[in-house]
Structure 1
Amino acid sequence: MDKNTLLSSFGKWVSPINIQKLSEQVEECKQDYYTKKLTTDAYIKLLLFAQLHETESLQAMSDALLDEDLQKTLGFESISASQLSRKNNKINPAILSNLFLNLVCEIQRFHYKSGKNMPLKIIDSSTLPLNLTNYKWAKFRKTKAGVKLHLRLVFMDKDTVYPEKAVITTAKEHDRNQLEVLVDDQEAMYVFDRGYVDYERFDRMTDDGYFFVSRLKKNAVIREVETFSLPDNSTVLSDKMVYIGTTQNRAENVFRLLEVIDTKGNILRLITNRFDLSAEEISEIYRSRWAIELFFKWLKQHVEIKHFYGMSETAVQNQIYLALIAYCLNVLVQLETKSKKSLLRIVRWLKAAIWKPAYVWLRRFEEQSSP
């Protein structure tokens, strides 16, 4: 019998989670000692259900357990908001971080099968605002609080992107401080914005064999070494070899500086250490950076990270990791079914068939792909 016949659509969606690995880590962290009902496994499933439905509070999550199918999936009939709150504050974020990374590994198996060389990895951050009264530990201005999600996103193509590495800090953490943490693969091409400009790090990256393209700040001092010719039909304005920085603060390596026009007609200056690609290719690589902006927009609109379920640092981190896990589960469905449908469409179909047999949901992909 096909295993999908036995699974609900929700069961199929969460099936990539390696229960054995999860159980081993829960045991190692003594996470479920004295737990009678709300085990870590049940907690994760309930919170993923909440992410899927953008549930705004623990009380609303508790009320959702009136659904008998949800009760069967979790193994209990009810749970109070206070019990959920205690569990949310108790779960070690490292467990959810490792779960996220395990799902990333599953996605990468599909990625490597595609045979693509030099993956494009985009680095950026997004600040999630918090109420200063309730989140004093996350204060970063006199009247504001917030956390920052520093992210490395893999760009496979315009239809498929996925988060590969995440670091969660308070909002006062500068982006540049996370660059070395997020750059660790010499077989990749990194793309980031001017908030990460650091001449010393650019030198280290170049010396260590890492490739990148970044936007350069407007006030950056440059010294031209050579100007490269461009094709007559090129959309790039100029292509030069330069030194960057002042005499007191100057990069030791030579870099390539391109001037391009963005979609709004603004002139952008791009800096890179790739001299083997055409100017058009470098411009196109930087243009792919829009993918991470769309990713953050998708997270904020279609999973629940606008309203946090707890006020502790642990609770906030857990909720962000669960949002990333939900996104990865959606990508795995997209890859497994070889669907070109948007993640939003995939999620809508899932919610419509959530407790129906998985084949009902999966059959929808086959119907949509047929001529």
Structure 2
Amino acid sequence: MDKFTRKTSFEQWFSPLNQTLLEEQVKTHQLNYYTKKLYTASFLKLLLYAQLHETESLRALSDAVFSDDLQCATGLNSISFSQLGRRINTIPTEFFQTIFLDLVAQIHKKTDFEKRRKISTPLKIIDSSTLPLNLTNHTWAEFRKTKSGVKLPLRLVFMEKGFSYPDKGVLTNAIEHDRGQLEIFIDDKECMYVFDRGYLDYERFDRMTDDGYFFVTRLRKNAVVRVLESFTLPTHSTVLSDEMVVIGTTQNRSENVFRRLKLLDTKGKELTLLTNRFDLSADEIAEIYKSRWAIELFFKWMKQHLNIKKFYGHSEQAVHNQVYIAMIVYCLNVLAQLNSNSDRSYLQISRYLKAALWKSANIWLRKIKGKCVP
């Protein structure tokens, strides 16, 4: 990537977007029919720019087009905020979803996901986060008397050295329970699934075990458990107890046996874990569950550094579109790191990008690779 390029840093950053796929999607959804000015490609670039700069509104984005550099990048010399509003409310979410999944496929390829899974079992972490909305403007998403919200259930691929990235997400109203989303994310028998107690469902755990899926989750303290056998722990184990159990009451009891572990977290609080893996040591299971923290960090990063605090549109489609754009931006940062073999954090990559947005891509690439810029 050190070869001379006339691309700007902005163009280099979004270059992983598959242009052939974009054109196919535009044609499939007829997105440019009857369009005289704001074509889909230009609109997508504006939305990516808005995410990078955390632009607070479509009116502010409309004003930003005054920039000669942004005009050159988008092919627009001006655009009204009302036109932007109509676009974000009418483009189907499937369009942005397809782009996101294609970027995920590129990350899979770059990280040799299929090859690595033959060496060790990949971890896939499942959790959700609620994004608050204004009740007055988003009545379709009401879930409490005073507020509205959407929920983003997500699956995160967790690899060695803490590297992680989202590979599947859905959007629901915040009122929907997490438990109903679990089956959407369980689709690979060669992975280990990690999730919290919000997904507790004994019947589903039985089905997963019968079908050959492995998981580690957290068990509620008041869960009814019958201990069948206690396992001996190594002398220096961080785990307090390791047992083979049957979970549930007489009326609603699991058909399979599971493994229950008790351990202390970093704050000294006792945690109870449940898994259907008996071939790993107790400490290995404990370490696997600790990796669940990666998805908490992902949601925190998104909310702090991507533009999903204020939404550009009031419709369900507009809100969903903006969330998917945010995940596309995250994936582009991941690919920027992978393609340049950079050890910079995503935040550093994003900051350097904003500082060199309209400069030669070589300047940005050399900076994120840790080389001095002449």
CA distance in 1, matches of 2:4, 2:332: 16
- Residue in structure 2 matched with residue 333 of structure 1 by the alignment: 336
Give the alignment partner of residue 227 of structure 1, picking from 220, 227, 230: 230
CA displacement 1:193-247 (0-9 Å, x = unmatched) = 0000100000011111111000001110100011111111000000000001111
C-alpha deviation, 1:76, in angstroms: 1.0
C-alpha deviation, 1:367, in angstroms: 3.2
- Residue in structure 1 matched with residue 106 of structure 2 by the alignment: 106
CA distance in 1, matches of 2:322, 2:38: 17
- Residue in structure 2 matched with residue 345 of structure 1 by the alignment: 348
CA displacement 1:346-368 (0-9 Å, x = unmatched) = 11111111111111111113335
CA displacement 1:286-345 (0-9 Å, x = unmatched) = 000010000000000001000000000000000000000000000001111222221101
- Residue in structure 1 matched with residue 213 of structure 2 by the alignment: 210
Q: How many residues align?
A: 370
Matched, 1:250 2:257: no
Aligned positions of 1:129-168 closer than 5 A: 129-168=132-171
Listed as ranges, the gaps of 5+ residues in structure 2 are none
CA distance in 2, matches of 1:294, 1:220: 28
Aligned positions of 1:211-360 closer than 5 A: 211-360=214-363
- Residue in structure 2 matched with residue 53 of structure 1 by the alignment: 53
Letter in 2 for 1:139: E
Contact residue 341 and residue 369 of structure 2 kept, 8 A: no
- Residue in structure 1 matched with residue 121 of structure 2 by the alignment: 118
CA displacement 1:84-103 (0-9 Å, x = unmatched) = 00000010100000100000
CA distance in 2, matches of 1:105, 1:219: 41
C-alpha deviation, 1:111, in angstroms: 2.1
Letter in 2 for 1:57: S
CA distance in 1, matches of 2:16, 2:183: 30
- State the SS of the aligned residue for 2:261: strand
Letter in 2 for 1:290: W
CA displacement 1:61-105 (0-9 Å, x = unmatched) = 111111111101100111111000000001010000010000000
Aligned positions of 1:7-18 closer than 5 A: 7-18=7-18
Contact residue 134 and residue 311 of structure 1 kept, 8 A: yes
C-alpha deviation, 1:4, in angstroms: 5.5
Contact residue 191 and residue 289 of structure 1 kept, 8 A: yes
- State the SS of the aligned residue for 1:128: strand
- State the SS of the aligned residue for 1:83: helix
CA distance in 1, matches of 2:130, 2:209: 29
CA distance in 2, matches of 1:42, 1:156: 35
Amino-acid identity (%): 63
C-alpha deviation, 1:271, in angstroms: 0.2
- Residue in structure 1 matched with residue 36 of structure 2 by the alignment: 36
Contact residue 243 and residue 260 of structure 2 kept, 8 A: yes
Letter in 1 for 2:26: V
Contact residue 111 and residue 156 of structure 1 kept, 8 A: no
Contact residue 352 and residue 368 of structure 2 kept, 8 A: no
Letter in 2 for 1:289: R
Q: Could you tell me the TM-score, scaled by structure 1's length?
A: 0.97
